[in-house]
């Protein structure tokens, strides 16, 4: 047997070290990517659970009357079950249910979105064991989410919980839970493992960059705009539908703002799109600081923002919009490339929901008022009126 030359021993040693380093980096990369995806999925589950809790919290008195299987014959139970099924379908949920704790170790189910003939259906009074996520949510009283689960009986999902609150005494009466289908996520995890293994065998640095970018794209929050950090168009639409449903039940006012930065194309053309993004981010930051806790701010598209104002009539909405217009007008954004401070203005349309109006109608009204502000030399606030509608028709 011939001795191995020294240089080949060195190459073998280096290659072994490189392979070891690549494997370690591959393991770290896999854990990082899956953690990001799991976190974003969990945030979505938590957000969907919170949105779903409004369905019950708005009718808490009737919900508290559901105490036995006989109550499943009540119109309220049947109506809520139908609403749950619609919400489940529109949000691609695997399961949706409400529960309350009866001891430190057990809960009972109340409402359930499963069809009556489903083997997974739960009825009033059916029990289940407390788990770590339930304990955490009951202890914190805040929306929580749990880890991705691959259960041989219930399937692949991630759970989000939100508390159900009795508004009369502030007491938490139970939880609403949503399980988001996660089969695609587990398949994605397997695909990532294959890609990372291949990257280790070929060119780790290049493959790592591609895979990490892919995972980053896949893990973007489903309800958050990546540039501004505000809610996105999809969330705005769903939140507005829920608020209209709430206003129709409570009779409380509801208003909407549509806002658009003036001459934004000129900003991009003059200072570049990178600075345009900075302007959008700074404006979004200012808007988030200016609105109230219960308001919903979303990037509707491009340089346009939408705002949902619960419990706000048209007069209050106009005052708030006027304040926003003034704050934006006073804001300056520094452009490093040109060394100048840039001012932008904003045009705003205001509309108030009236009984019978649908979500699209309210958005359309605010949008028409916004176009009227644009027509009136911009940097203005306009309340929707018949004149706005007529102007829109002329255009």
* Poorest-pLDDT segment among 176-185, 258-267, 309-318: 176-185
Contacts of 371 (CB under 8 A, 6+ apart): 349, 388, 391, 392, 395
Contact between residue 366 and residue 351 where contact means Cβ atoms under 8 Å apart: yes
Q: Which pLDDT band holds residue 338 (cuts at 50, 70, 90)?
A: confident
- Write the DSSP assignment of 328-362 as a string of letters: HHH-EEEETTTTEEEE--EEEEEEE--TT--HHHH
State the pLDDT at residue 130.
92
CA distance 166 to 9: 73
Percent of the residues in the chain that have a pLDDT greater than 90, as a whole number: 48
Angle, CA 90 vertex, CA 84 and CA 92 arms, to 5°: 95
- List the catalytic residue out of 99, 238, 243, 303: 303
State the pLDDT at residue 215.
40
Percent of the residues in the chain that have a pLDDT greater than 70, as a whole number: 87
Contacts of 285 (CB under 8 A, 6+ apart): 229
Domain limits, the chain:
1-61+126-220, 233-394
State the pLDDT at residue 387.
62
User: 221 in the Ramachandran plot: left (φ > 0), alpha (ψ -120 to 50) or beta?
Assistant: beta
Q: Which pLDDT band holds residue 392 (cuts at 50, 70, 90)?
A: very low
Nearest to 33 by CA among 188, 255, 143: 188
Most confident residue range from 89-103, 175-189, 247-261? 247-261
CA distance 28 to 30: 6
Q: Which pLDDT band holds residue 222 (cuts at 50, 70, 90)?
A: low
Q: Is the pLDDT of residue 209 over 90?
A: no
Mean pLDDT, residues 61-68 taken together: 91
Q: Which pLDDT band holds residue 188 (cuts at 50, 70, 90)?
A: confident
Nearest to 56 by CA among 181, 169, 167: 167
State the pLDDT at residue 277.
92
Contact between residue 372 and residue 345 where contact means Cβ atoms under 8 Å apart: no
Give the relative orientation of helices 233-250 and 359-375 as an angle to the nearest 10 degrees. Answer: 110
CA distance 82 to 175: 19
Residue 232: how many other CB atoms lie within 10 Å: 19
State the pLDDT at residue 15.
60
State the pLDDT at residue 149.
82
Residue 330: how many other CB atoms lie within 10 Å: 9
- Write the DSSP assignment of 17-55 as a string of letters: HHHHHHHHHHHHHHHHHHHHHHHHHHHHHHHHHHHHHHH
Q: What is the pLDDT of residues 272-294, one digit of tens each?
A: 999 999 999 999 999 999 998 88
* Poorest-pLDDT segment among 141-145, 206-210, 219-223, 239-243: 206-210
Q: Is the pLDDT of residue 379 over 50?
A: yes
State the pLDDT at residue 245.
94
Known catalytic membership, residue 303: yes
Burial 82-114 (b: 16+ CB within 10 A, else e): ebbbebbeebebbbbbbbbbeeeeebbbbbbbb
Most confident residue range from 2-6, 155-159, 388-392? 155-159
State the pLDDT at residue 17.
66
- Write the DSSP assignment of 110-166 as a string of letters: EEE-S-TT-TT---TT-EEE--HHHHHHHHH-S-EE---EEETTTEEEEEEEEEEEE
pTM: 0.45
Enter the DSSP assignment of 68: S
- CATH superfamily placement of domain 233-394: Reverse transcriptase/Diguanylate cyclase domain (3.30.70.270)
Residue 244: how many other CB atoms lie within 10 Å: 20
State the pLDDT at residue 157.
84
* Poorest-pLDDT segment among 189-198, 281-290, 385-394: 385-394
Mean pLDDT, the chain, whole residue set: 84
Of residues 391 and 61, the one with the higher pLDDT is 61
CA distance 18 to 221: 35
Contacts of 109 (CB under 8 A, 6+ apart): 97, 98, 99, 122, 123, 124, 125, 126, 127, 128
Q: Is the pLDDT of residue 200 over 50?
A: yes
Residues in the chain: 395
State the pLDDT at residue 221.
58
State the pLDDT at residue 14.
54
Cα 388 to its chain centre, rounded Å, is: 32
Contacts of 329 (CB under 8 A, 6+ apart): 343, 345, 346, 379
């Amino acid at each position: 047997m011939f001795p191995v030359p020294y240089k080949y021993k060195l190459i073998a040693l280096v290659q072994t070290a490189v392979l070891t380093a690549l494997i370690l980096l591959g393991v770290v990369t896999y854990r990082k990517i899956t953690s990001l995806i799991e976190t974003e999925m969990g945030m979505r589950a938590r957000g969907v659970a919170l949105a779903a809790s409004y369905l019950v919290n708005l009718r808490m008195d009737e919900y508290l009357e559901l105490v036995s299987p006989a109550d499943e014959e009540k119109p309220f139970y049947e109506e809520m079950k139908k609403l749950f099924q619609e919400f489940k379908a529109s949000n691609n949920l695997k399961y949706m249910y409400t529960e309350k704790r009866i001891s430190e170790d057990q809960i009972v189910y109340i409402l359930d979105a499963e069809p009556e003939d489903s083997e997974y259906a739960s009825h009033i009074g059916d029990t289940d064991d407390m788990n770590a996520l339930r304990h955490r949510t009951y202890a914190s009283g805040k929306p929580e989410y749990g880890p991705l689960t691959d259960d041989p009986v219930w399937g692949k999902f991630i759970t989000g919980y939100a508390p159900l609150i009795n508004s009369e005494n502030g007491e938490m009466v139970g939880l609403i839970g949503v399980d988001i289908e996660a089969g695609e996520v587990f398949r994605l995890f397997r695909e990532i493992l294959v890609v990372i293994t291949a990257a280790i065998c070929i060119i780790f640095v290049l493959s790592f960059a591609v895979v990490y970018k892919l995972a980053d794209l896949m893990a973007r929050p489903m309800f958050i705009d990546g540039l501004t950090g505000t809610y996105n168009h999809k969330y705005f639409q769903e939140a507005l539908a829920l608020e209209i449903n709430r206003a129709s039940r409570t009779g409380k006012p509801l208003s909407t703002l549509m806002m658009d930065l003036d001459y934004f194309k000129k900003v991009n053309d003059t200072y570049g799109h990178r600075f345009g993004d900075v302007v959008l981010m700074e404006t979004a930051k200012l808007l988030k600081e200016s609105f109230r806790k219960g308001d919903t701010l979303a990037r509707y598209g491009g340089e346009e923002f939408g705002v949902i104002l619960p419990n706000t009539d048209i007069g209050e909405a106009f005052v708030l919009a006027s304040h926003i217009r003034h704050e934006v007008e006073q804001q300056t954004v520094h452009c490093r490339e040109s060394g100048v401070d840039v001012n932008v203005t904003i045009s705003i349309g205001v509309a108030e929901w009236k009984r019978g109006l649908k979500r699209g109608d309210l958005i359309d009204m605010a949008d028409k008022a916004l176009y009227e502000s644009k027509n009136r030399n911009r940097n203005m606030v306009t309340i929707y009126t018949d004149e706005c509608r007529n102007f829109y028709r002329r255009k």
